Amino acid sequence: MDPLSLASRLVAVPSVNPMGGPPDDDCFETRMTSELVTLFSQAGVAFEIHEVLPGRSNVLARFESAPDRPTLLWEAHQDTVPVTGMTIPPFEPQVADGRLYGRGACDVKGGMAAMLSAFFRLVSERPTGAANVVMACTCDEESTATGVGRLAELWTSRRGVSPILSEPPAAAIVAEPTSLDVVVAHKGVTRWEIITRGRACHSSAPQDGVNAIYRMARVVSALEDAAASLAAARPPHPLCGSATLSVGRITGGQSVNIVPEECRIEIDRRSIPGEDPQEILQETMGAVRSRLDFDLETSPPWLISPPLSDADNGPLAKALLDSIQSFAGPRRSLGVAYGTDAAAISAAGVPCVVFGPGSIAQAHTADEWLPIEELTAASDILFHFAANFPGERTT
């Protein structure tokens, strides 16, 4: 199938992740899942639907080349960020000046379309010696990465549940906009909430209460110092740079004439390869609490996504770069600051890289777009890579 037609078809299907906000009729992946089921049914390939959250599912399909061939996993997420503030119709794909416009065109329905197009070409042409390929379209990447976590369980804690993915794949490629470069390392992220408590009273006599916002100001100051010390506390990763910490959201108070009894902030802590995401909250909060003379509360992290290490994906990256060279000229292997589903797949023991058409600079933007030339090249690259993948089946 033509990758541009496929990408346009996918962009036209709303699959917005509300990311904690109020959902509306364009939210969640239900319609996208139905569209994928239609595509896989029409292609006559084996597919599965795995419900991850109520009404939200992963979809897996398999191209079977030969029992003795290794299995490649291609993964792309179905959801997009919200459309608030967009300056173009989000779900009316438009082609102009060599670009495809629409929500998700870049992140990541273009990458998904490149994978699907290559997948269906494998099904149609059945090149001799090709790898087996599992196409996995996951849910909820933009918020809590629940879908990829459930996917990885199919060859770890729930091994044997899926006939399509009954053993660990030999390697994996995750679709994200990389401008046809190969991302071999990236940062992880841990996100949680801090709450300070006070005692409310009338603002005309603030001495009778305890101001939770004032308390939080001291917490934010301690976090700012902790963020500034991160670069010196641990060596930067050669590809990803230094670990970072940011306070991204604050809420508190009921009214200007009431001393606030509660204040909340949300923390975004980016980890680098070699750090343990499970230890980050304890380490950060220990540094903050040492500077305070009052208690505070923390929520359990709602997102713990590990960093992607380049320790074991070098041969995979080199092989993919060789395929890229034939269709798009020389490209690089590199590290990035943002996170992807590749980290969870790598943490589950599968060598994994990130690859796709488009630039991260266009992801989530008001006029999101994708270069059509890169979309077409990505499809050809993925087909060539799968058709010529070396090695034998692993268990």
pLDDT tens track for 243-253: 999 999 999 99
CATH topology for 188-305?
Answer: Alpha-Beta Plaits (3.30.70)
- For the chain, what is the mean pLDDT? 96
Q: What pLDDT shows up at residue 234?
A: 86
pLDDT beyond 90 at 259: yes
Residues 6+ away with beta carbon under 8 Å from 155: 165, 166, 167, 168, 169, 348, 349, 350
Contact 111, 24 (CB under 8 A): no
Phi-psi region of 209 (alpha: psi -120 to 50; beta: other; left: phi over 0): beta
Q: What pLDDT shows up at residue 80?
A: 98
Q: What pLDDT shows up at residue 225?
A: 96
Q: What pLDDT shows up at residue 394?
A: 52
> What is the rounded CA–CA span in Å between residue 315 and residue 294?
52
Query: Phi and psi for 371 in degrees, rounded to 5?
Result: -70, 125
For the record, the structure tokens of 257 come out as 């004439």
Give the residue-averaged pLDDT of 343-366. 97
Q: What pLDDT shows up at residue 393?
A: 59
Contact 335, 360 (CB under 8 A): no
CATH topology for 3-186+307-387?
Answer: Aminopeptidase (3.40.630)
Residue 154 in 3-state DSSP? Answer: helix
pLDDT beyond 90 at 262: yes
pLDDT beyond 80 at 52: yes
For the record, the structure tokens of 242 come out as 């230094």
Q: What pLDDT shows up at residue 1?
A: 84
Contact 80, 109 (CB under 8 A): yes
> How far does Cα 51 stand from its chain's mean position?
18
Residues 6+ away with beta carbon under 8 Å from 158: none
Give the residue-averaged pLDDT of 283-307. 95
CA atoms within 13 A on the CB side of 359: 6
Give the residue-averaged pLDDT of 20-47. 96
75-115 pLDDT, tens digit each:
999 999 999 999 999 999 999 999 999 999 999 999 999 99
> What is the rounded CA–CA span in Å between residue 235 and residue 228?
14
The gap between the terminal CA atoms of the chain, to the nearest Å, is 32
Query: Phi and psi for 162 in degrees, rounded to 5?
Result: -110, 115
Give the residue-averaged pLDDT of 201-209. 98
pLDDT beyond 70 at 392: no
* In the chain, domain spans: 3-186+307-387, 188-305
Q: What pLDDT shows up at residue 307?
A: 97
pLDDT beyond 80 at 177: yes
pLDDT beyond 80 at 182: yes
104-160 pLDDT, tens digit each:
999 999 999 999 999 999 999 999 999 999 999 999 999 999 999 999 999 999 999
325-336 pLDDT, tens digit each:
999 999 999 999
Give the residue-averaged pLDDT of 259-273. 97
pLDDT beyond 90 at 395: no
In this prediction the pTM is 0.93
Contact 189, 270 (CB under 8 A): yes
Q: What pLDDT shows up at residue 219?
A: 98
Give the residue-averaged pLDDT of 166-187. 97
pLDDT beyond 90 at 278: no
Q: How far is CA 192 from CA 177, 219, 301, 352, 394, in A?
A: 27, 14, 4, 27, 38
Q: How far is CA 343 from CA 34, 43, 218, 303, 362, in A?
A: 27, 30, 34, 13, 22
Strand order in the sheet with 182-186: 46-53, 56-63, 132-138, 71-77, 171-175, 352-355, 182-186, 333-336
Q: What pLDDT shows up at residue 269?
A: 97
Residue 35 in 3-state DSSP? Answer: helix
DSSP string covering 164-209: TT-S--SEEEEE---TT-EEEEE-EEEEEEEEEE-B--BTTSGGGS
> What is the rounded CA–CA span in Å between residue 331 and residue 181?
5
Q: For residue 360, name the pLDDT band (cuts at 50, 70, 90).
A: very high
What are the start-end ranges of the H helices in the chain?
A: 3-11, 30-43, 110-125, 146-152, 212-233, 277-289, 314-328, 342-347, 372-387
Q: What pLDDT shows up at residue 20?
A: 83
Considering only residues 276 and 372, tell me which one the structure prediction assigns the higher pLDDT: 372
Residue 140 in 3-state DSSP? Answer: coil
Q: What pLDDT shows up at residue 107?
A: 97
Query: Phi and psi for 333 in degrees, rounded to 5?
Result: -100, 140
Query: Phi and psi for 156 in degrees, rounded to 5?
Result: -120, -100
